[in-house]
Amino acid sequence: MPSLAVKLYSIFFKLQQRYALHNLTKAPIDGADPFGVTSRRDESTAASNPSFNEGVATKDIHIDPFSSLCIRIFLPDTVVSPDPTVYENRSKDGAFVYSGYSPQPGTKHKKLPVVLQFHGGAFVGGSNDSVRNDVFCRRIAKLCDVIVVAVGYRLAPESRYPAAFDDGLKVLNWLAKEANLAECGKWMWNGRRRMDAHVFDGFGASMAEPWLAAHGDPSRCVLLGVSCGANIADYVARKAVEAGKLLDPVKVVAQVLMYPFFIGSNPTASEIKLANSYIYDKSTCLQAWKLFLPEEKFDLDHPAANPLIPGREPPLKFMPPTLTVVAEQDWMRDRAIAYSEEFRKVNIDAPLLEYKDAVHEFATLDVLLQTPQAQACAEDIAIWVKKYISLRGHEFSY
């Protein structure tokens, strides 16, 4: 059974969630506004820091002028020399002009895989820059030695389905565009290779995101979804399979589904037995689904909610290797386990990690992030992910 501290926190957390959902249900929503929101005012956020703080530098980018869609990039300090300050820009008198990390043109840059991360929050809360998501993404960036791109997708009910799913796919396409821009910047008009890796617009600003241009290897892309973020990751993986070479040079080599936010009209054993489980109970999640799915077509067997409905495309045999993480005390566990079994039936590498006495979001909730179980889960994920992001060819490229 979970510890007494977890049980007490669960009571407080449930009350907080029900209050928040009640307010969202009663609040007037302008459904015609496509801009949307990506965070809530009551969510504690962590400021980005482009210098290497505790081994990871971060920056925020708003990537869509027509919506609130944004990302936070987590860059581990393994991409630079043992003294990362030599890469910071200084004026002649030694004072800092820009205190953040800036890749230097004309030098070799270490290339790292890219992990697209989708946060949890039942589609109605959470954010990519929350304190808990910032800690988790830093942990993944360091353990896996990857660049993490945390997606700030639009939240419901301001932006119902398919907004969050469209945002996830839009970031994957943005990553492909950035990679192609960076590649264009490596060549001169006469076909000769040049030493800087940037394309510049008419104002001299870099059009290709410099951290990703210098250090990102999109041919080793992993999708990682937490709770409802796992639903988004699975959708993006399916769309990546359908797109095929149209996404080049981006290649999704694996996905990680952490305690997916699955549900269906026919309840599983765990959905009955654990309906009143810790942290997220079934009634609270049903409320969130009602705020997320289209009002006129509310159906728990919607493709966004139930992965086990027949006829979903593409066939599972074309999907990337998929690691599924489940918690013993999570009422959603059985459907995630069944989905994982479907992968294995078509010979996809799809291991299942189940954690004893664990609750939903045990590895990503703020109060549980520093527990041994949360850290062990991140380490287990890193071990599996590294199988699919191992370097092919040279470690460095221009």
The residues assigned a catalytic role are 227, 330, 360
CA distance 346 to 340: 11
CA distance 168 to 322: 18
* 127 neighbors 45 (Cβ within 8 angstroms): yes
CA distance 367 to 133: 12
What φ, ψ does residue 298 adopt, rounded to 5°?
-70, 120
CA distance 53 to 60: 15
Output DSSP code: residue 216.
E
Which helix (H) or strand (E) segment holds residue 100: the answer is strand 96-101
Query: What's the CA angle centered on 229, arms 372 and 158, to 5 degrees?
Result: 130
Query: Which DSSP string corresponds to 297-348?
Result: G--TTSTTT-TTSTT-SS-GGGSPPEEEEEETT-TTHHHHHHHHHHHHHTT-
CA distance 92 to 84: 19
Rounded to the nearest 10°, the torsion over CA 170, 176, 181, 183 is 170
* 148 neighbors 171 (Cβ within 8 angstroms): no
CA distance 11 to 321: 36
CA distance 89 to 83: 14
One-letter amino acid for residue 284 of the chain? T
- Determine the 3-state secondary structure of 195 from DSSP: coil
CA distance 39 to 155: 7
CA distance 371 to 357: 13
122: left (phi over 0), alpha (psi -120 to 50) or beta: left
